[in-house]
């Protein structure tokens, strides 16, 4: 909307929100938030992704430098491995940032673990 000042924009927005709420049969009070933002700032905000980046097992394996099987082994056995953000029928999805954080803190030991004799 076009307005001459922030106060004018707030008043126009509040009136519009209350009219639309009443027309839809919604409560008109309390108004919990009205935000007045310059158009250029709004446009920049709309360009930013709003969902966190997710990775699948193969992508997590690439980040960690291990096989997909090792990712699933770590997910089930390593206490510090991040919990999946989502579990789907085809596999789990993790937050990329959590997997990357795990790689920084993970003390990776090269090679296969020694087998224990009975």
> How do residues 5-28 score in pLDDT, each as one tens digit?
888 988 998 899 899 999 999 998
**The model's pTM:** 0.57
Comparing 95 with 29, the larger pLDDT belongs to 95
Say how many CA atoms lie within 13 Å of 48 toward its Cβ: 7
Comparing 37 with 53, the larger pLDDT belongs to 53
- How many CB atoms within 10 Å of residue 99? 22
17-to-12, 60, 67 alpha-carbon distances in Å: 9, 44, 53
CA distance 60 to 100: 9
């Amino acid at each position: 909307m076009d307005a001459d000042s922030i106060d004018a924009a707030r008043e126009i927005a509040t009136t519009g929100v209350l009219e639309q709420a009443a027309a839809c049969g919604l409560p008109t009070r309390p108004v919990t938030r009205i935000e007045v933002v310059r158009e250029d700032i709004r446009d920049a905000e709309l360009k930013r992704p709003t969902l966190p980046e997710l990775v699948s097992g193969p992508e997590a394996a690439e980040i960690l430098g291990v096989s997909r099987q090792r990712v699933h082994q770590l997910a089930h056995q390593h206490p510090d491995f991040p919990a999946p953000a989502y579990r789907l029928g085809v596999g789990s999805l993790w937050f990329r940032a959590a997997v990357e954080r795990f790689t920084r803190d993970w003390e990776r030991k090269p090679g296969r673990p020694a087998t224990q004799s009975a």
